[in-house]
Copies of this chain bind each other. A is one copy, B any other.
Amino acid sequence: MRKGSVSRRRFLQAAGAAAVWVPSSVKGYTVAEMRSLSAEGEIQEDISKWELDTPALCVDLDALEANLQTMQRTVAANGIASRPHAKTHKCPAIARRQLESGSVGICTAKVSEAIAMFEHGIDRILMTTTNVTSVKIERAMGLRRWCPGFIQATDTAENARDLSEAAQAIGINADVVVDVDSGGHRTGIPPGRPALELAQLVDRLPGLRLAGLLCYDGGSQHVQGFAERRARTLDRVAPAAETKVEMERAGLNTEIFSGGGTGTYNIDHETAGLTDVQVGSYVFMDAQYLAIGGATDPEVYSDFEPSLTILTTVLNSQYEGQVTTDAGAKACTINQPWPIVKGETGMTYRSGSDEFGTLRYDDPSRTYRTGDKLELIVSHCDPVVNLYDQMYAVRNDRVEGVWQIAARGMST
């Protein structure tokens, strides 16, 4: 243990207020130093998160674990499974915890993301996006060759034929699900006859094995109010559910009927035949999801705890009523609602500038000093995570590990 680190940590925790003053005698830890300390696994030193160089992305392990448990308990009670979307966290350490907590697999949005996950030991992967170019189809089928738990979505007959050809070329039999449009017209084939015919084609094509269908209605997830959200999502996914029945009548395999997300995780089991939810944000929560309201609290969606925060440092405090911090759009994105300043009331954050955060506060008696640390609950977790190469795994403010965001930037 580093000399003096216990007393430093005690001091930092004793600071109590949400804005934490870190004395200049504290050296601080850079990303490189933290990576080196964690190279052997869990960090043995006693390092407070307040000692981290900023901006720093942190995940609170107690909150993360509580979220995993809540999800698993709920879906199990409702007779379905979870297949969490790794596009949210892009982090193999979290994917492993999701599988360990009982999830049947993970989802990815991009083939490069799927490959990064597989390279880090995750071997049950549903790719929810159709790959339409030769290079991506080859990569997906190449992944399937080494990863029998890889499942690929498709949404046109032409694409199914391309998949079939690529699978045959390398001598595999690839699992495929049909992506059914929920009416958002973003991805997927229309439900009913078009989807059924595509499923039949997949079932017939050599090199492919029909595994079922998926239907994700992104537009439902952030609908304000539980009743409104429930009504919309059940309505939107109903045509896919009917398609599933038609597929069964036609003797097709429908072992997977995947859909839903964090906003509808406790509603989706009401869609007949749905097998699993592609929940993403529940692991972290964020300001956007907190604002949609839940089944019990119409104001705040409190089913899950915010676990993902950004630590930031005050760079300038010489102007009344505002401070400038080191976390701007490149550390927070410009998604709205703006990040929430944890534990501080009457303080609003804006990341309108690329490099700097601007925080305004109402209470003129409140003072902040240059060097003070603040903690932000992120606005929208997915694109924020995609800005960082690592997140610090923290319990009771102590850094337990440095988790690689292995699929960061994997947009291809």
Contacts and interface: CB of A to CB of B under 8 A. Distances in A.
Interface string A43-76: 0000000000111100000000000000000000
A372 to B, nearest CB: 10
A331 to B, nearest CB: 5
Nearest to A165: B24
A327 to B, nearest CB: 7
Given A87-B354, A129-B315, A411 B30 contact: no
A355 B135 contact: no
B371 A389 contact: no
A330 B411 CA distance: 7
B324 A370 contact: no
Contacts of A358: 186
A135 B29 contact: yes
B187 A134 contact: no
A306 interface: no
Contacts of A389: 409
B30 A135 contact: yes
A74 B14 CA distance: 56
A135 B28 contact: yes
Nearest to A331: B411
A316 B131 CA distance: 10
Interface stretch (A5-13, A152-160, A269-277): A152-160
Contacts of A109: 354-355
A189 B55 CA distance: 23
24 contacts: A26-B134, A27-B134, A27-B135, A28-B134, A29-B135, A54-B133, A110-B355, A129-B326, A130-B315, A130-B316, A133-B371, A158-B370, A185-B322, A186-B353, A186-B356, A187-B356, A218-B353, A326-B412, A329-B333, A333-B334, A334-B334, A387-B387, A387-B411, A408-B409
Interface of A: 22, 24-31, 53-56, 87, 109-110, 112, 129-130, 132-136, 138-139, 155-156, 158-159, 162, 181, 185-190, 218, 313-316, 318-319, 322, 324, 326-327, 329-331, 333-335, 353-356, 358, 370-371, 382-383, 386-389, 408-409, 411-412
> Closest 5 interchain pairs by CB?
A28-B135, A185-B319, A109-B355, A331-B411, A354-B382
